Chain A
């Protein structure tokens, strides 16, 4: 499992874990993000069961595990949070922030110790030590209860499945040629995102934020002008096309 530091200030840092060369071939590659503050850490979309050992090992390279006091699951999918039952044994005093809509479903992954903090549809702010984060609604993109994480100081948006691309574990960390990268994103967004209305609502909301980096859960990170390019591209993209293709 590779680890990259993508932001650092005197208050906190952002780490991304991914590009695991030992990942089994048939499971989708994922990016896990962690915000580390003075005394705590927030682990976002911690991943599937298959990844747990390598994630746990990668984390203790940087912080002691008891420092992880917060988990975030953008939605209910197995590649996002099926490792919960194992984290539940590793972090008995942590809080999981996740959509209220999915609580009864996510608990099926096994959760006896971790506390579930249901995020209401409108989201909420989360202050961890001196880091101010906000859970931003991204419903129907692709899950019907879905959130992103925005960091105002770092100007980072952890965008979950939005901006995802399916490519190999050896892909570069950052988007280098936006136009070429679009080809890797088109099918993913058209097939997994069901609603043009929800998509455009999200683009309008997120366009108001200052974003230097947009960090999806699969594929590469968008930096600088590529963030704006992505928002424009996504706004124009027709999604939910699987039914239309059959007519």
Chain B
């Protein structure tokens, strides 16, 4: 197995792990949205502008959870395809070595049909592999776009918190802090995953 093939496995596993972490943070964000809704309800009219924001926070968390799950599935599929690709590449090496050893042997030609099958399989797996990387990159880009909303949400939350009664301001500012922190953490994880996916993309095109 070449070091590049080892990297395929490690990289896809790392992407899956980063998305798993993003998923956990998004689940905490769901709790934040639920908490914010309760505080806004208690604050009544003084936090009237905050209540619709909690729906957006909730929606952002749910979108992140759904996307990270989907990307995790894509990373797992990619890992499976790269394992099959490695096995096929390995089989080709073995067949080529056997062919070199058996150059003058009576039935060396009988290796050709099997070798042809494996080469066709390699080509199909390569195409599938590149396609999976494209899908993974697209999904990560999509999630990164969704996360831009989080920055606006955090800012709006802070503005609305300042309008609320003094008694609730600390809690509502806490919500804004949580949204901001969660969004920043998820964004970092997605950027790291994107960087890894781009490395796979570059390797596949070499």
Contact = CB atoms under 8 A, between A and B. Distances in A.
Q: Is the pairing of A and B real? A: yes
B101 A64 contact: no
Contacts, number: 63
A110 interface: yes
Interface of A: 52-54, 56-57, 59-66, 85-86, 89-92, 110
Given A57-B101, A61-B102, A89-B114, A52 B107 contact: no
A160 B15 CA distance: 45
> Is the contact region of chain A dominated by helix, strand, or loop, or is it mixed?
helix
Contacts of B95: 53, 56, 90
A54 B105 CA distance: 12
Contact of A60 (B88, B90, B97, B106): B106
A52 B101 CA distance: 12
B117 A60 contact: no
A56 B98 contact: yes
Q: How large is the interface on B (under 10, 10 to 19, 20 to 34, 35 or more residues)?
A: 20 to 34
Contacts of B3: none
Contacts of A65: 107, 110-111, 114
30 contacts: A52-B94, A53-B94, A53-B97, A53-B101, A54-B98, A56-B95, A56-B102, A57-B101, A60-B108, A60-B110, A60-B111, A61-B105, A61-B106, A61-B107, A63-B107, A64-B107, A64-B110, A65-B107, A65-B110, A66-B110, A66-B113, A85-B91, A89-B114, A89-B118, A89-B121, A90-B111, A90-B114, A92-B114, A92-B117, A110-B87
A243 B18 CA distance: 47
Given A64-B110, A65-B111, A66-B110, A57 B105 contact: yes
Given A52-B94, A53-B94, A89-B91, A60 B107 contact: yes
A85 B106 contact: no
Closest 4 A/B residue pairs (Cβ): A64-B110, A57-B101, A53-B97, A56-B98
Contacts of A91: 114
A57 B110 contact: no
Given A53-B101, A92-B117, A110-B87, A86 B94 contact: yes
A64 B112 CA distance: 11
Contact of B87 (A52, A56, A64, A85): A85
B183 to A, nearest CB: 43
A89 B87 CA distance: 10
Contact of B117 (A54, A61, A64, A89): A89
A56 B107 contact: no
